[in-house]
Structure 1
Amino acid sequence: MEKNTGDFVTCTYNNAHRVLRSRLQLHLIKCRSNYPHAELQKCPLNQLHLVPEAEFELHLVSCPDRKIITHYKYVDEMKFLKHDPIESEENWDDTESGNYNPETYVRSNQIIRKPVGPPSKRKAFRHEEEERWQQFD
């Protein structure tokens, strides 16, 4: 297994500490308990940036992660294309014919229907269906 030797960063609590960037967050938690009186402030743009209080204002102006926040904070307005409304001769809401009724269609054509309901209604339905089918013969 090959180790990553190129991506080291320096700890803000102790300059002698060199840590992999991927392990920096865990290291800062441990190092914070060893240096409880260190006067460092967390950057609001990146919690891994711990800056001395004297340099905090300067860091806020020049933080490298500031561009990420400003990119999403100040989004340009979307430009919409303006076009003239298109006049249409059709209106699908105004129908000249009536609505489709499947029950009417089934009664007037040779379509087999299944009886539904209690036994007495099913028996009556079968009797009506026999009479309806005799009309087609």
Structure 2
Amino acid sequence: MAGNNIFVGGPNLTEYVQCPYDSAHRILPVRLAFHLNRCAKNFPCSKMVRCPFNTSHLYSVTNMQEHIIECPNRSNLERYKMPDMLPLVEPPRHEFIVDSAENWDDDPPVPTYNPKTYCEEKFIIRNPQGAPPAARREFRERERRRFTANNQF
């Protein structure tokens, strides 16, 4: 039985980041921004400041100046300020024309489908909805005459 032991791993803590408000909180990086908004309500007296380059970077006031110099998201602002350093724009894609005998702008070779005329021509049992009782009775009589005239009933 010793050979049948199966190891079930726990959470991989290397994928998680630590909350700046509470060190016991471990959060996936994708959920960090949402967690910081909720966790900030629990710590209203903390002196934490958000980074101007990335709102999920949260540091104390004393460490923020140091972080701004080293922030990895600062490069986005630097690229914006110096557009000459930006990579070249992609070349335009080549236009291509597909030869087809089909023309969608032409009228179709058959008339459009009208369900009302189809039901009047074919022998389909219909039930008028929303008409007053006298009109429904009259409609049923007309339909009965139409069916019996063509020996369909």
Aligned position for 1:126: 140
1:106–1:43 Cα change, 3 Å: closer
What CA distance in whole angstroms lies between the structure 1 residues aligned with 2:69 and 2:101? 60
Aligned pair partner of 1:107 in 120, 127, 134: 120
Contact 1:42 1:48 in 2 (8 A): yes
Aligned position for 1:11: none
Aligned position for 1:98: 111
Aligned residues: 109
**By how many angstroms is 1:66 displaced?**
3.7
Contact 1:115 1:122 in 2 (8 A): yes
What CA distance in whole angstroms lies between the structure 2 residues aligned with 1:115 and 1:41? 70
**By how many angstroms is 1:85 displaced?**
1.9
Aligned position for 2:149: 135
Contact 1:41 1:50 in 2 (8 A): yes
**By how many angstroms is 1:126 displaced?**
0.9
Structural mapping, 1:40-55, within 5 Å: 43-45=51-53, 46-51=57-62
Instruction: Identify unmatched segments of 5+ residues in structure 1.
Output: 9-18, 33-39
Which secondary structure state, in structure 2, belongs to the residue aligned with residue 48 of structure 1?
Answer: strand
Identity %: 28
User: CA offsets per residue over residues 95-118 of structure 1, 9 Å max, x none?
Assistant: 122111111111111211113310
Question: Which AA in structure 2 matches 1:131?
Answer: R
1:47–1:134 Cα change, 3 Å: same
What CA distance in whole angstroms lies between the structure 1 residues aligned with 2:118 and 2:134? 25
Task: Tell me how large the CA RMSD over aligned residues is.
Answer: 4.4
**By how many angstroms is 1:136 displaced?**
2.2
1:29–1:131 Cα change, 3 Å: closer
**By how many angstroms is 1:92 displaced?**
3.5
Q: Could you tell me the TM-score, scaled by structure 2's length? A: 0.49
What CA distance in whole angstroms lies between the structure 1 residues aligned with 2:148 and 2:49? 93
Q: Which has the larger radius of gyration?
A: 1
Contact 1:42 1:50 in 2 (8 A): no
What CA distance in whole angstroms lies between the structure 1 residues aligned with 2:122 and 2:137? 21
Question: Which AA in structure 2 matches 1:122?
Answer: R
Contact 1:41 1:51 in 2 (8 A): no
